[in-house]
Structure 1
């Protein structure tokens, strides 16, 4: 059926992006049938899917992470592809709505924002003063190319924290500053990887070139920074609401970025043993960094501890000509207690060799240790037990649009969630032989999403790939660890920059 949708020009255009004919047909099929909702079993809570690590154990884990960092085994991976359009959505609205009270409040608050100095400089170039101007001109200089162009800038390059007139840091700079405190090796090298959209990649590289030397000198480190775009091959087709390929005014297929799940390709190409993932906007000023860094080390050390034990069991299973019951019981217990892996009912009927093979497959996977904070109403995903087709339940990070909330039991499970996913993840990307996993083998390809978007005023259906920490890691061995709220300080709207946790 999908064959008739595409012509020769379509195939040429898609091939130039690395998208095959089979990809096109598969994407149209997914857009047509839509995703299957996940079946929530129950939310993860402390003691039931979420670990509460005591102080002594946490200190030991932090020390383990320091050892790995010193050996150069650690990289920080920062998704920074998105523009800040949504961050300034309220200001764009205010630009079009004549609300005198809100506009007055906006002008009164303006000097408190870290980019106020940059605004003054931009306006001064044209002989203007921010203190004397009315709302319309000021907002234009903030949001458009006439001035700072904040509305189209990536969050990474926006001033987040003002320490002094001489020390105003972007979100990217704060990521550098944090990394210097926990991933530097013995030679002082900090390995970092940022992902940007293609249109922002050059500006990002320029900004890194301008600021890295300053932070290297202050912190006594050397930043080994790489930047990659979301690969064109991860872009996905859009469809009309009638289920046909959406075409632009020139009759070309419309491809859209596939969401943060597209970054699985970037992550898969990293040559690193341990990778920390953290969103670009979740940064804090220096006074809060020690606590944030400590708990990041705890996550990393927990990963290393579990990874070493898993590798030992894998080697033992591999070496056994005839698996013995004692070893099988020991590995079963480790899988259950460490990764909440509960074999399906059919496992009981397997012989010793088959059980050993099952346990080997279960352990020989990437590991992720994810920080979880108490849910205080922030929008986003959380940790849940999810029912699988074989009758087992696994630990997953779930977004609301993956759940059929119209089903009473599912809505109840979602609404009773106690914790939230701040995207604070330590990942083990290599196997027990030191070889990198092919991360695509551990993705649930059916965990895609179909959402309604618009293009030049026309509604369309957009296909999002399985989310990076959702479906893309669905078959990883997963551990959830409770971490304090101080580790989570995202900037989702511009007003978040005025919160106490963003005041140096």
Structure 2
């Protein structure tokens, strides 16, 4: 299947031949669906904090930060904005092909809405300058949109979301990147007032992000009384997956070389693994709000971190005993207590009909399950927004635990599984707080806690030829499948993503 030249190419990318062969096998066999056992709901896997709980959890977090806990905020920011403007690109294509462009545009409600409300967007002043002197109004169909999307204007169609102007302020406009800086200044700063943030970006835009940071750094540091420590990384080429043709043979470029493609956000577990922090907040680049609405987000971020620290303290106690004591020296009462905490608090249940009749057998089971990273995931009540959901699911080792499942991971032809999916009351807004060190302060190797049997295969094309692409387990799905997991309900006010340009017309973004 592979020539010597192919193997050299694979090695130069930092990948391994056996990994690539497994990827091809995945194309042939497909990925198994998750086996859901129940939807996670309030008091069945999802914790609900009352006002006192929110306040005390936030205070616990602030106290631990004051004692030296080092937080960091991790933001996947490499996503292109092109999908935000899908309707506008379609409108331009229709206008070029249609003999009556105004009628063509009238059929595209999203594009029409954009043009009618264009002055309400934070980027309008820049767009207005870009089209100054151009005869835009006499060409109702084209120019405003063209100057927004293409290089002759703002070039927003080719930029990442993080660099677009989202919000207006009296002193200017802010990008999502800047909004995350401000958020980070409020809950991701240590006891020396250093706010640490890490952004994963695409290689072609890394310099632009860095330049923007240097431009705004001083102003935001002065306003929020912090020192920013901001770093950037790109998705590692070694995590790219091989593409295949429709017969599952390696897809080859015109020069005969193998084609590799970025493997989705699940590959970012490698970037996350490179970071050194006690607590890591994770949030998507487009889920931001103006300052007037940030208080709720900040309160709940601190509360989630407080919940994590509360349970981490108990986890560390069990870790220490399980790692430093011989099983013979442990009494049955302790092991029963640790098993109960694992099952009823850390939400990992043993295999059905699995009884640990021997003390040593139970000891090794508990030791393995306690020596894992810990995450607390915010969950929002389902109000029709797209996204994965919280479920109980069976793991490869037969245990049952809390998992975040995307719709593509649930068998569409299995009525029982679909019924469980429809019973979901919450969805995943990507609002995580992670603890990635053990009781000794040693970092876990996060790549050891993934489920490689999860993934996604999609149909693409290259140079007019069809191909199949493969994504690695999602960052908060399969890439964190083997973590200890807690779900906490957070209010819908903390979830304000921008999936289309017209989402910026929502009240939350005005």
How far has the Cα of 1:493 moved from its partner? 0.7
2:338/2:366 contact within 8 Å kept: yes
2:314 is aligned to: 309
Aligned to 2:90, which of 79, 93, 99? 93
Aligned to 1:385, which of 367, 388, 392? 392
1:76/1:191 contact within 8 Å kept: yes
Name the CA distance, whole Å, in 1 between partners of 2:162 and 2:481: 28
* Secondary structure of the corresponding residue to residue 180 of structure 1: helix
The C-alpha deviation readout for 1:455-477, integer Å capped at 9, x for no partner, is: 23332111100110000100000
1:138 is aligned to: 144
CA gap of 1:390–1:10, structure 2 versus 1, over 3 A, is: closer
Aligned to 1:485, which of 488, 492, 503? 492
| Counterpart check, 1:73 vs 2:79 | no
Name the CA distance, whole Å, in 2 between partners of 1:318 and 1:255: 42
2:285 is aligned to: 280
1:366 is aligned to: 373
Name the CA distance, whole Å, in 2 between partners of 1:364 and 1:479: 16
1:57 is aligned to: 53
Aligned to 2:351, which of 344, 347, 368? 344
1:72/1:184 contact within 8 Å kept: no
The C-alpha deviation readout for 1:195-246, integer Å capped at 9, x for no partner, is: 0111221211111111222211211111100000000101111111111111
1:121 is aligned to: 129
The C-alpha deviation readout for 1:253-306, integer Å capped at 9, x for no partner, is: 111100000100000010111100000000011111011110011111111111
| Counterpart check, 1:30 vs 2:19 | no
Aligned to 1:290, which of 290, 295, 299? 295
1:258 is aligned to: 263
Aligned to 1:270, which of 242, 267, 275? 275
1:299 is aligned to: 304
* Secondary structure of the corresponding residue to residue 159 of structure 1: coil
Worse overlay, 364-373 or 328-337: 328-337
Name the CA distance, whole Å, in 2 between partners of 1:282 and 1:92: 23
CA gap of 1:361–1:391, structure 2 versus 1, over 3 A, is: closer
Name the CA distance, whole Å, in 1 between partners of 2:235 and 2:396: 32
Aligned to 1:198, which of 199, 203, 218? 203
The C-alpha deviation readout for 1:143-201, integer Å capped at 9, x for no partner, is: 0111111111000000110123x320000000001111111222221000000111221
1:68/1:74 contact within 8 Å kept: no
Worse overlay, 450-459 or 28-37: 450-459
TM-score, structure 2 normalization: 0.94
Unaligned runs of 5+ in 2: 96-103
Name the CA distance, whole Å, in 2 between partners of 1:387 and 1:357: 20
Name the CA distance, whole Å, in 2 between partners of 1:389 and 1:107: 51
* Secondary structure of the corresponding residue to residue 345 of structure 2: helix
Aligned to 1:153, which of 153, 159, 162? 159
Q: How many residues are paired up?
A: 496
How far has the Cα of 1:491 moved from its partner? 0.4
| Counterpart check, 1:183 vs 2:188 | yes
How far has the Cα of 1:16 moved from its partner? 2.0
Worse overlay, 68-77 or 478-487: 68-77
2:405 is aligned to: 398
1:415 is aligned to: 422
Name the CA distance, whole Å, in 1 between partners of 2:291 and 2:137: 30
The CA RMSD over aligned residues, in Å, is: 1.6
How far has the Cα of 1:122 moved from its partner? 2.3
Worse overlay, 25-34 or 146-155: 25-34
How far has the Cα of 1:20 moved from its partner? 2.1
* Secondary structure of the corresponding residue to residue 72 of structure 2: strand
Q: What does residue range 313-328 of structure 1 map to in structure 2 within 5 Å?
A: 313-321=318-326, 322-328=329-335
How far has the Cα of 1:348 moved from its partner? 2.1
